[in-house]
């Protein structure tokens, strides 16, 4: 179909036909916009491009650089996890995909505008806030979120000035998920192991001066409810010069329950019990650091240099506070109790309480029940901030499939052409621009024996991208 045959929906839209873009001679009949270039966005794009041979997918990303938490969340010493970037790159280089970096929904473009310019909009902008303990003194300087600490060592623009105070001996991490363990590992790992990763140079420098010796990893519930997984625990147990010390009382009665547990939980519990049994025999060499998982403690108060916890007991699977308390020395407190999404545009039907977009299986709801045709959500923004990349992938595939189904069932009106994002006069980073940044970072890293040295300043990213 040639351009002159396209009928253009112009309701409220002021776009000249000249601005309609045709990629490699394909007249797009279905234009889909994905907001956010993280795993959910890329996996959804992959399925859409495969299933809909006449669609064009535009990815709009707030930062000049793609990959979301794969770049800014996944721990630098887990490079194998970052291999998904190769798959995302293949998708991004598909001739029917366009990447618009440095374009933020809610600031540079509104949802209303995107909906006018596309047949379908899929929101996958993730979770960029964190849940709070809601304790007094939580805003004081020595309490920071694990999210910010992760962003700091991973070079998220804006996080470089965090300056976590690593001059004290004791760090208390509240929360026991894998993010909490990542943070503990970064604090306790030998520096030489981190120097060969893409940890930012300023973080390496700060960690080299760190006085931290003990990391407490505190959870409300017991060992049978621990949220970290076996791979992450194994890594902690293998860290050189670090003793893991469990509390025997936390494991009371656990032995007898092991046989009844489901396999992953059983293996994790067996590993904890094995480590507990062996800890008396650990050498505890002078100067060694300690990793101290502590169960059945709920945060109660933050005081100068210490944190107070209620001793809890389990009722069913819930932790209930008792009258007993315990104080832990805490020079630095890292809150790691979950991420939270934010509402970036007032037209988004956002569930503030749960910190995600109201939806049913990825179809965004207009009110409590009615679906808003043409608007979708996937990834952490739709499900809440849980799940690994694989979980995000399955969810994103399912939502992309729903878009295909809705198009096939004519739920979406795709009879008239849509113009897509108008990037004119904007400082947009294209995929080629990202490749220039990528090359620059890789070369800067090579000189130091690192996979890359990330650019942290947005202005510098734009400069290197040639924008």
Q: Helices 178-188 and 230-238 meet at what angle, rounded to 10?
A: 10
232 is in an annotated binding site: yes
178 is in an annotated binding site: yes
Question: Which residue, 135 or 458, is less far from ligand FAD as judged by CB?
Answer: 458
Question: Cβ 215 to ligand FAD, closest distance in Å?
Answer: 16
Question: Cβ 339 to ligand FAD, closest distance in Å?
Answer: 6
Question: Cβ 154 to ligand FAD, closest distance in Å?
Answer: 8
Question: Cβ 381 to ligand FAD, closest distance in Å?
Answer: 6
Closest CA relative to residue 363, chosen from 121, 128, 127, 126: 121
Q: Give contact residues for ligand FAD (rule: CB under 6 A).
A: 35-41, 60-63, 68-70, 73-74, 78, 81, 104-106, 124-126, 128, 150, 179, 182, 339, 344, 379-380, 387-389, 392
Q: How far apart are CA 460 and CA 396, in angstroms?
A: 32
Question: Which residue, 187 or 276, is less far from ligand FAD as judged by CB?
Answer: 187
169 is in an annotated binding site: no
221 is in an annotated binding site: yes
Do 409 and 369 meet the contact criterion of CB atoms below 8 Å apart? no
Q: Which residues lie below 8 Å from residue 267, measured CB to CB, with a gap of 6+? A: 230
Q: How far apart are CA 255 and CA 440, in angstroms?
A: 53
Q: How far apart are CA 30 and CA 408, in angstroms?
A: 11
Question: Cβ 83 to ligand FAD, closest distance in Å?
Answer: 11
Question: Which residue, 106 or 451, is less far from ligand FAD as judged by CB?
Answer: 106
Question: Which residue, 106 or 329, is less far from ligand FAD as judged by CB?
Answer: 106
Question: Cβ 105 to ligand FAD, closest distance in Å?
Answer: 4
Do 144 and 334 meet the contact criterion of CB atoms below 8 Å apart? yes
Do 429 and 465 meet the contact criterion of CB atoms below 8 Å apart? yes
Question: Which residue, 105 or 417, is less far from ligand FAD as judged by CB?
Answer: 105
Question: Cβ 224 to ligand FAD, closest distance in Å?
Answer: 23
Q: How far apart are CA 228 and CA 239, in angstroms?
A: 16
Phi, psi of 33 (to 5 degrees): -110, 130
Please state, in angstroms and as integers, the Cα–Cα distance from residue 226 to each residue in 300, 337, 416, following that order. 20, 13, 53
Measure the CA angle with vertex 257, ends 256 and 263; round to 5°.
130
Question: Which residue, 46 or 124, is less far from ligand FAD as judged by CB?
Answer: 124
Strand partners, 123: 35, 377
Q: Which residues lie below 8 Å from residue 159, measured CB to CB, with a gap of 6+? A: 148, 151, 152
Q: How far apart are CA 191 and CA 189, in angstroms?
A: 6
Whats the size of the chain, residue-wise?
467
Q: Token pair for residue 36?
A: 């956010």
Question: Which residue, 309 or 335, is less far from ligand FAD as judged by CB?
Answer: 335
Question: Which residue, 311 or 389, is less far from ligand FAD as judged by CB?
Answer: 389
Question: Which residue, 276 or 400, is less far from ligand FAD as judged by CB?
Answer: 400
380 is in an annotated binding site: yes
Residue whose beta carbon is closest to ligand FAD: 38
Tally helices (H) and strands (E) across the chain. 14, 20
320 is in an annotated binding site: no
Question: Cβ 133 to ligand FAD, closest distance in Å?
Answer: 18
409 is in an annotated binding site: no
Question: Cβ 467 to ligand FAD, closest distance in Å?
Answer: 16
Question: Cβ 145 to ligand FAD, closest distance in Å?
Answer: 11
Do 170 and 214 meet the contact criterion of CB atoms below 8 Å apart? yes
152 is in an annotated binding site: no
Question: Which residue, 176 or 310, is less far from ligand FAD as judged by CB?
Answer: 176
56 is in an annotated binding site: no
Question: Could you please report the per-residue DSSP string of 302-337?
Answer: EETTEEEEEEEEEETTEEEEEEEEEEEE-SEEEE-S
Q: Token pair for residue 202?
A: 């300023």
388 is in an annotated binding site: yes
Question: Could you please report the per-residue DSSP string of 62-81?
Answer: SSSS--HHHHHTS-TT-GGG
285 is in an annotated binding site: no
**DSSP 8-state code for residue 415:** S
Strand partners, 292: 216
Residues in the annotated binding site for NADP(+): 176-179, 220-221, 232, 387
Binding site per annotation, positions:
40, 61, 69, 105, 176-179, 220-221, 232, 380, 387-389
């Amino acid at each position: 179909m040639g351009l002159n045959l396209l009928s253009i929906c112009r309701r409220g839209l002021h776009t000249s036909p000249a601005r309609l873009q045709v990629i490699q001679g394909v007249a797009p009949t279905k234009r889909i916009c994905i907001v956010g270039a993280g795993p959910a966005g890329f996996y959804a794009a992959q399925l859409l491009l495969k299933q809909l041979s006449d669609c064009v997918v535009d990815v709009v990303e707030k930062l000049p650089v793609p990959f979301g938490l794969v770049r800014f969340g996944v721990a630098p010493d887990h490079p194998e996890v970052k291999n998904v970037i190769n798959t995302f790159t293949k998708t991004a280089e598909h001739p029917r995909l366009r990447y618009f970096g440095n374009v933020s929904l809610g600031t540079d473009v509104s949802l209303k505008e995107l909906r006018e310019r596309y047949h379908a909009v899929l929101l996958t902008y993730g979770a960029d806030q964190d849940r709070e303990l809601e304790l007094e003194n939580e805003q004081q300087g020595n309490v920071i979120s694990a999210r910010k600490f992760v962003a700091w060592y991973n070079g998220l623009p804006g996080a470089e000035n965090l300056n976590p105070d690593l001059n004290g001996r004791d760090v208390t991490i509240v929360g026991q998920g894998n993010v909490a363990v990542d943070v503990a590992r970064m604090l306790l790992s030998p520096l030489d192991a981190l120097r060969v990763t893409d940890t930012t140079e300023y973080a390496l420098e700060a960690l080299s001066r760190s006085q931290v010796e003990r990391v407490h990893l505190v959870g409300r519930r017991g060992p049978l409810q621990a949220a970290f997984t076996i791979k992450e625990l194994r890594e902690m147990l293998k860290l050189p010069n670090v003793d893991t010390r469990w509390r025997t009382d936390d494991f009371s009665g656990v032995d007898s329950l092991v046989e009844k547990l489901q396999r992953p939980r059983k293996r994790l519990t067996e590993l904890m019990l094995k480590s507990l049994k062996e800890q008396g025999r650990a050498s505890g060499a002078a100067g060694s650091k300690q990793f101290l998982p502590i169960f059945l403690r709920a945060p109660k108060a933050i005081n100068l240099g210490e944190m107070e916890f209620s001793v809890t007991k389990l009722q069913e699977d819930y932790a209930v506070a008792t009258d007993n308390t315990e104080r832990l020395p805490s020079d630095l407190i890292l809150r790691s109790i979950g991420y939270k999404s934010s509402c970036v545009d007032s037209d988004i039907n956002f569930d503030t309480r749960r910190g995600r977009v109201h939806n049913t299986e990825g179809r965004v709801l207009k009110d409590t029940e009615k679906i808003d045709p043409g608007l979708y959500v996937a990834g952490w923004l739709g499900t809440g901030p849980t799940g690994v990349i694989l979980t995000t992938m399955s969810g994103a595939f399912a939502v992309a499939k729903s878009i295909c189904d809705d198009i096939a069932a004519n739920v979406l009106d795709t009879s008239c052409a849509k113009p897509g994002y108008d990037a004119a006069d904007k400082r947009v980073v294209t995929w080629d621009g990202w490749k220039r940044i990528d090359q620059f970072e890789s070369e800067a890293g090579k000189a130091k024996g690192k996979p890359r040295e990330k650019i942290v300043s947005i202005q510098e990213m734009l400069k290197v991208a040639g924008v």
